[in-house]
Amino acid sequence: MNTHNVSSAPGCIQLLQQHKKRLQDAQSRKGQCLCIQRPRDETILGFNLRRAKNQGRSSLDHSVRSSIIPPAYHPCTRSLRNLQQIMIKDLRVETHHRDTYLLLRSVTPPDEMTAILAIVEDENGDVLMLQLYNQDMDRPVEETLPEGTALIVKEPFLKLMSDGEYGIRVDHVSDVIFLSAVDERVPLCWRPQDSPNFDVSHWKMRGDELCDSAKYQLAIESYTKALDGLPNSEESTILRLSRAYALLKARRFDEALLDLNSIPQTSPSAEKALVYKVQALYNLHRYRECHQVLSCLGPESSDNPAIKDYPSRVLRRLEEQEHGKYQFKPMYQASKAFPPDLDHATYIGPVAVKPSSARGRGLFTTEAVKAGDLLLCEKAFAHLSANPEQDKNVTLLMNIETDTMTVGTQSDLIRVITQRLYQNPALIKQFTDLHHGSDSPVNVSDVDGKPVLDSFLITRIVSLNAFGCPPSSREYYLADKATRLETGNQFHSCGVWPNSSYINHSCDSNAQRSFIGDMIIIRAAKDLDADTEITFWYATPDVDDFEAHRDKFQHWGFQCDCIICQDYQNTDPTILEKRQTLRTEVRHYIQSTRQPDLARIESTVASLASTYSRPAREVPRLGIWDVQCVLAKKYLRLNQPVKATEAVFGALESLGYVIQGAKIPGAPLVIMQWGFMVDQLIEVWLVLAEAFHTVSPELEARAERYARITYKICVGEDETFEDTYITNST
Ligand SMILES: C[S@@+](CC[C@H](N)C(=O)[O-])C[C@H]1O[C@@H](n2cnc3c(N)ncnc32)[C@H](O)[C@@H]1O
C-alpha cells in the first residue's frame, strides 16, 4: 500500500515488455536438451572476470539493480531419499526437474547480485552457473558459498538467462541443502584428502573459534556436529549453551530457546542459560515471560552487562504491549538510526479480526472508540528502509505475472522475510496466514527436518500486504508538498505489519496509519461504535484523476464500493466533466494573480457544490474542500476572520463533518460527526483557532483541541504538536 509502483512509467513499461519477450523466447525452448556452449575453463574464466568487474564497481556509481520474479513454481516437498540424482548434461531448458536432485560443488568464489552466484560442477565435471535467491545477504557471501562448497539442489530448474547462457535458478531456500565437507553424501573425490574423523572436543573448539570470529552460522554447524558425536551429559549441556549463544547471535531465537530449555536447572550452566533466555524471549517479543525469567535470576546475573538494562526495558515494553502507553518523542530520535529498527512492543488495542462480507477478513472494533484513539501500534514483522546514503542505487522489482514494477526495498524485503521465517519457523504461520489471493500454497510444512518455504507465496503476501512508508509521518508532514514530490523517495522504504494487514480499504476510511521508523500507528479517524469495520486507504484518493485512483485496486483484485466510489459511478459523466472544468478554472483563479478574486472563487465553489447531489454528511465532497481551505487562509491573511471561519466550516462540512455550534455565536463547538480525514485539516483547525481569537475567543481553545486531535490522527501522536507549531511559526 503506497509502495512506489512505477508500472505505468513509460521506461518501465518498455523494460517489462523486454523481459516478457525474453521469457516468451525462453519458453519456446522449454524442454530442449541443454547444449553446453562453452568449455569448462572458459565458463569459469568468464565468471571470474565478471565477478572482478562487479567487485571493482565503486559504491559511488549509479546503479539500477533489477530483480525479476519469474513465473511461480512450488518448492520441493519430497524428502531427499525419495528423489533420484540427475546430472547437469541431462537437464532440460526451462524445466523443473521434479523428483530429482543435483549434487554439485562450487568451483569459483561467489559473486553477489540480487542473488548469490557461482559456477558449480557435478560429478562428471560439467559446469553451469548457479543462482541462489533469497539467501541471507547479511552474512558475507563468501561464508554462505565458499569455493568448494558441496550442495544439493532439489528439483532443479534450468533457466535460459538474459545473456543467452544457461543457469540453475533456485528461488526456494528449502530447495538447497548445503553439505559439510565430511558429510557422507559428498563424493569421496570432493572431500579433503586428509579428512580425519574429528571428535566432540575438536568440533567444540572449532565452534568456539568461529564464535570468536563472529561466524555464528558456521559455529552452529560445528556445535551440532559435536552434539552428533555423542558427548556425555556434561559436555552436551555446555555444547547446547554454546550453540544457544551462537543461535542468539544469528537471530535464530526459537532454536536458541530449544537448546536453553534442555539445560537442567541443577547444572552449573543454568544461570547463564537464564541470561540467554532473557535475551531470546525479549527478541521474540515475549515480554511477560521475559519478565518472569528475570525475576528468577540470581543477584550475580543482575549485574551482567548483557542484560543489565533489561528489567527497565521489559517494564517499558509491557506498558506498551498491555496498555498502549508509548513515549513517542524518543522514538523519533531512535528512528534516525539506520536501519530504524525501534526497540518497542506491539500494542493491539480494542480490535479483532473477523469475517468481512465480500472482503475476506477485516479488522473490527471490539468496543466504541473516539476519534484519535489508538487502535494499533505495531512493530514491523520486517521493514526495509531505503538507505539515504545509497539513494544512487535503485532496485527495481519486476513481476512478469502481475505486470508490476516497484522501486525501492520491496525485493530485499522478500529476501529478509524468507530468511527470518526460515530461521524462526514458529513465525511462519502468522505470516502465511496473511492474505495471498487465490494462490494455493503447498500443504507440507517441513521435510528432512527443515521448513518448506515457498518464496513465491512470500512474494505474493508482500505484494498484497506491504506498506510503503516514510522515515516518519511527521517528517513527511513537515516537508512541504514540493519537497515531497521532488525527493519522491519517501515510500522507497517498506514493511509488513501483520495485524495492520487485516485492514481493508475504503476511500471513505475511518482510520489513519502513520509511521515512526519501523512502527506503524493506527488511530481511529472518527468516533466508531463497537463492531465497526476499520478501514483505511491503500492509495490516497485523487479527486483530479479518480478513474486512475480506482484502477489502482486492480493490484489487490477488488473494486472499491465505498460510498464515494458509488456516488462517483452514479454521477452522470457530463456532471463529472463539469466538476473537473470548474476545478481547473478555480485553480487558475487561485494561481493567476497575487490578489485572487475571492468572490469569484466563492461563486465557483457554489457551482462545484451544485455538481453533488447527495448531502456532504453522507458522501464527502472531495472536489471542494481544498478550495475552501485556500479561501479560509486567504481571508485570515486579509484580516477577515468571520469570512475565514465560514470558509473553514464550509471545508469541514464538505468533508462530511457535522459540527454543532458552528454557526451559532457563543454556542459550544462540538464535532457531532467526524468526516473525511486529511492532514491539511490540522492547519485548517488552527486557522479557525486564530480567527476565533478575534471573533469568538471562548472557542479558540476548542478549535486548537480539534487541531491537536487531527494532528494525532495524521502524524500518529500529539507529543510533538507544540514543537511542530512553535518551530513552524518562528
Ligand atoms: C491487505 S489484505 C486485507 C485483509 C484481507 N481482506 C484478508 O482477508 O486477509 C488486502 C486484500 O483484502 C481485500 N480487500 C481489501 N479492501 C477491499 C475492499 N474495499 N473490497 C473488497 N476487497 C477488499 C482484497 O482481496 C485485497 O487484496
For all residues of the chain together, what is the average pLDDT? Answer: 90
Whether residue 581 contacts residue 588, with contact meaning beta carbons closer than 8 Å, is answered with no
Mean pLDDT for 430-456 is 90
Alpha helices in 524-614, H assignment, sequence order: 546-551, 563-570, 573-592, 598-609
Q: Is the CB of 461 under 6 A from ligand 1?
A: no
Please name the amino acid found at residue 37.
Q
Q: Does position 392 have pLDDT exceeding 60, yes or no?
A: no
C-alpha–C-alpha distance, residues 85 and 672, integer Å:
72
Q: What is the dihedral of CA 173, 178, 184, 188, to 10 degrees?
A: 130
Q: Is the CB of 493 under 6 A from ligand 1?
A: no
- Average the pLDDT over each of 125-129, 297-301, 351-355, 655-659 and give the range with the smallest value: 297-301
Q: How far is the CA of 551 from the centre of ligand 1 (A)?
A: 15
Q: Is the CB of 556 under 6 A from ligand 1?
A: yes
Q: Is the CB of 464 under 6 A from ligand 1?
A: yes
Task: State percent of the chain over pLDDT 90.
Answer: 70
Mutate to test the pocket of ligand 1, among 353, 504, 535, 561 (most ligand atoms within 8 A of CB): 504
Indicate if ipTM > 0.90: yes
Mean pLDDT for 103-107 is 97
Nearest-CA neighbor of 671 among 697, 641, 705? 705
Predicted local confidence at residue 316, as pLDDT: 98
C-alpha–C-alpha distance, residues 130 and 670, integer Å:
66
Q: Does position 483 have pLDDT exceeding 70, yes or no?
A: no
C-alpha–C-alpha distance, residues 259 and 272, integer Å:
12
Strand partners, 102: 153
Q: How far is the CA of 49 from the centre of ligand 1 (A)?
A: 48
Nearest-CA neighbor of 139 among 64, 204, 214, 239? 214
Mean pLDDT for 7-29 is 74
C-alpha–C-alpha distance, residues 129 and 337, integer Å:
38
Which SS3 state, helix, strand or coil, does residue 57 take? coil
Predicted local confidence at residue 407, as pLDDT: 65
Predicted local confidence at residue 664, as pLDDT: 72
**Chain position carrying cell 527497565:** 312
Predicted local confidence at residue 486, as pLDDT: 46
Q: Is the CB of 560 under 6 A from ligand 1?
A: yes
The whole model's pTM is what?
0.91
**More confident: 500 or 592:** 500
Reported confidence tier of residue 137, pLDDT bands at 50, 70, 90: confident
Q: How far is the CA of 572 from the centre of ligand 1 (A)?
A: 29
Q: How far is the CA of 360 from the centre of ligand 1 (A)?
A: 6
Predicted local confidence at residue 518, as pLDDT: 96
C-alpha–C-alpha distance, residues 539 and 549, integer Å:
7
Q: Is the CB of 513 under 6 A from ligand 1?
A: no
Q: Is the CB of 504 under 6 A from ligand 1?
A: yes
* Phi, psi torsion values for 266, nearest 5 degrees: -85, -10
Predicted local confidence at residue 634, as pLDDT: 95
Alpha helices in 378-435, H assignment, sequence order: 410-423, 428-432
C-alpha–C-alpha distance, residues 130 and 132, integer Å:
6
Mean pLDDT for 553-559 is 93
Per residue in 320-330, pLDDT (tens digit) is 999 999 999 99
Ligand 1 atom 24 nearest Cα:
556
Predicted local confidence at residue 26, as pLDDT: 78
Task: State percent of the chain over pLDDT 70.
Answer: 91
Please name the amino acid found at residue 361.
R
Ligand 1 atom 27 nearest Cα:
556
Cβ-proximal residues to 298 (8 Å cutoff; 6+ apart), any chain: 271
Predicted local confidence at residue 442, as pLDDT: 85
C-alpha–C-alpha distance, residues 171 and 453, integer Å:
10
Ligand 1 atom 26 nearest Cα:
556
Per residue in 60-81, pLDDT (tens digit) is 555 566 777 778 899 999 999 9
* Phi, psi torsion values for 283, nearest 5 degrees: -70, -25
Per residue in 267-313, pLDDT (tens digit) is 999 999 999 999 999 999 999 999 999 999 888 887 888 889 999 99
Predicted local confidence at residue 647, as pLDDT: 97
Q: How far is the CA of 85 from the centre of ligand 1 (A)?
A: 43
List domains and CATH numbers for the chain: 10-190 (2.40.50.140), 200-328 (1.25.40.10), 564-726 (1.25.40)
Q: Does position 5 have pLDDT exceeding 80, yes or no?
A: no
Whether the upstream peptide bond of residue 109 has omega within 30° of 0, thus cis, is no
Cβ-count burial 86-119 (b if 16+ within 10 Å, e if not): bebeebebbeebeebbbbbbbbbbbbbebbbbbb
C-alpha–C-alpha distance, residues 245 and 181, integer Å:
24
Reported confidence tier of residue 2, pLDDT bands at 50, 70, 90: low
Q: Does position 234 have pLDDT exceeding 90, yes or no?
A: yes
Q: How far is the CA of 361 from the centre of ligand 1 (A)?
A: 7
Q: How far is CA 374 from CA 81, 288, 350, 567, 715, in A?
A: 53, 22, 9, 30, 12
Q: Is the CB of 355 under 6 A from ligand 1?
A: no
Could you give the angle at which helices 270-283 and 310-323 cross, rounded to 10 degrees? 40
